[in-house]
């Protein structure tokens, strides 16, 4: 939903019982971005804080 519905400044959160499980979900999202050239061009990955920003709408995950 970070880039799927074109809402400006959307906020997308993943919930998990602990940080390790949340990291797994984030890592899968990063792999999806890395495998899609269109997403890779449009999404800024901020690895130190485990976040991504969709540049067109300034939405984040």
Query: For position 2, what pLDDT does the model report?
Result: 87
Assign residue 43 a region (left: φ > 0; alpha: ψ between -120 and 50; beta: otherwise).
Answer: beta
pLDDT at 30: 96
Count of the separate structural domains present in the chain:
1
% of the chain residues with pLDDT over 90: 77
Class of residue 39 by CB neighbours under 10 A (exposed 0-12, middle 13-18, buried 19+): middle
* pTM summary value: 0.82
Mark the ranges of the chain whose per-residue pLDDT is less than 50: none
Q: Residue 53 and residue 58: Cα distance in Å, rounded?
A: 6
- Expressed as residue numbers, the domain containing 22 is 1-61
């Amino acid at each position: 939903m970070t880039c799927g519905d074109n809402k400006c400044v959307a906020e997308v959160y993943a919930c998990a019982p602990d940080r390790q499980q949340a990291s797994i979900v984030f890592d899968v999202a990063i792999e999806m971005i890395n495998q899609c050239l269109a997403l890779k061009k449009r999404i800024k990955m901020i690895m130190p804080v485990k976040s991504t920003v969709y540049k067109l709408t300034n939405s984040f995950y």
